[in-house]
Amino acid sequence: MTPAETAHEFHSTEPRTHEEWYELAARVLPGAGLGGYSLPEDVRFVIERGEGAHLFDVRGCRYIDYVGGAGALILGHAHPHVIDAVQESAPKGLHFFGTLNEYCVRLAEVLVDAIPCAEKIAFSTTGSESTFYAMRIARAYTGRSKILKCEGGYHGNHDYSNFSVSPSQPANYPAGRPDTAGMPASIHEEVLIAPYNDLEVVRRLAEENRDDLAAIIVEPAQRVIFPKEGYLQGLRDICDELGILLIFDEVVTGFRLAYGGAQAYFGVIPDLASYGKIVGGGGPVGCVAGSEQIMEQCNPVNRGGANYAYINGTLHGNPVGCAAGLATLEILREPAFYQRLHDRSAGLQSMCQEVLDRHGLAAKAIGQASLWQIVFTEVEPESYTDFLRADMASTRELDRLQMHEGLYVLPAVRRFVSAVHSDDDFEQTVSALDAACLAFKNRQTS
Ligand SMILES: Cc1ncc(COP(=O)(O)O)c(C=O)c1O
């Protein structure tokens, strides 16, 4: 084969089979994947398209999607109103830089109106950037450097987040366990770890580090663990007492639990909040929100000043992403949107619990609103340590078996119910779980 022919084969746009896609992916992507998740070989697939609550793969198989773009797609795939907005904005230019565009200013106005703690927002591109920036702004504002985060809490892919996200043992608080290689050793001392839902440990660590602690960052609902009564208010009180900033990571909860996010749902207002996912309607948009006084740290006229926090990125304020976000939020403002979504999701959650109970499996559907997960556990987890006691191997196995039955759920990861899952989808989901439970029990007895 000549070099020209090889190049032609390599860049071929001919249809490929499932196997050919994976052969190619194995050649060009580490582990033939996109990073964090490596699906078992028997359930992995290459997406051809998404439509509403469904995904279709290159073999023509259909899946009911509960991954929902990691929670970004509260309106499902290719929602007509969102696609119209993208089609209106895209021909005007996919990307600009350095000055404003109408979509980003309009989205900023909508976000400031919606987010209780927001007087100003600063755009980013992803949730990870948003939490990274929130921490930077908190440091610039307080002149302190340490950050306290919760064990089991995930704030994205950067170095300050990747401590004790999924440790195999509980931490010796406040020492965190790195979740990845490649982080500078010095960062270890900057991140303090506390168990979620435990105000006593937070208070002790905050008091011990009062001169160095810039912020406490928390997922208001950590994965599928919801806060105990008074927990978030307790964090607010500790922060107020010690002059520490409270950051809510609303990358998932923002516009998912309520239009005003966790702040509205739980009635506690943080100093700063980080967003991603839903605010971009599936596009590359995130933001940090806060009061005028705190957000002044990233006002570019202060560049060069001692407290200036640098926030900048090539895709910040991306017009197409902002148009998708604006169209999404417009639908979320419809009366009773969240009540309907939560009621329907709770209905599915309890139907799934009935199936688990009928099969006599020691598994629980844990979570609330439109985010929950099936976990083999005796107790309702209140912290990450409770998850360490759960049977995660069985949890993963039951999820894998549900994938065999046509559901897209990542093994041992929470699922997101969207506004476009239909009654039919729910019925098929319950039947799929029923079949998966049977297969699970047969495996145990064989
Ligand atoms: C709570 C939370 N924070 C931050 C992130 C990071 O967001 P992104 O993947 O957009 O960088 C995620 C991602 O799932 C998340 O769940």
Instruction: Name the residue of 222, 223, 251, 274 whose CB sits within 8 Å of the most ligand 1 atoms, as the mutation to test its pocket.
Output: 251
Q: How far is the CA of 86 from the centre of ligand 1 (A)?
A: 23
How many CB atoms lie under 10 A from the CB of residue 336? 8
Q: How far is the CA of 11 from the centre of ligand 1 (A)?
A: 33
Torsion from C-alpha of 169, 175, 178, 184, nearest 10 degrees: -170
Ligand 1 atom closest to Cα of residue 128 = 11
Taking CA atoms only, the protein residue closest to ligand 1 atom 5 is 156
Residue-by-residue pLDDT tens, the chain, 446 positions? 455 555 555 566 777 999 999 999 999 999 999 988 889 899 999 999 999 999 999 999 999 999 999 999 999 999 999 999 999 999 999 999 999 999 999 999 999 999 999 999 999 999 999 999 999 999 999 999 999 999 999 999 999 999 999 999 887 899 999 999 999 999 999 999 999 999 999 999 999 999 999 999 999 999 999 999 999 999 999 999 999 999 999 999 999 999 999 999 999 999 999 999 999 999 999 999 999 999 999 999 999 999 999 999 999 999 999 999 999 999 999 999 999 999 999 999 999 999 999 999 999 999 999 999 999 999 999 999 999 999 999 999 999 999 999 999 999 999 999 999 999 999 999 999 999 999 999 987 87
Q: How far is the CA of 14 from the centre of ligand 1 (A)?
A: 35
Q: What is the pTM of this model?
A: 0.96
Q: Is the CB of 250 under 6 A from ligand 1?
A: no
Which pLDDT does position 419 carry in this prediction? Answer: 98
Q: Is the CB of 252 under 6 A from ligand 1?
A: yes
Which pLDDT does position 6 carry in this prediction? Answer: 54
Instruction: Name the residue of 154, 225, 278 whose CB sits within 8 Å of the most ligand 1 atoms, as the mutation to test its pocket.
Output: 154
Q: Which residues contact 317 (CB under 8 A, 6 or more apart)?
A: 96, 100, 101, 103, 104, 123
Q: Is the CB of 219 under 6 A from ligand 1?
A: yes
For the annotated catalytic residues, the residue numbers are 154, 249, 277
Q: How far is the CA of 435 from the centre of ligand 1 (A)?
A: 32
Q: Is the CB of 399 under 6 A from ligand 1?
A: no
Taking CA atoms only, the protein residue closest to ligand 1 atom 3 is 155
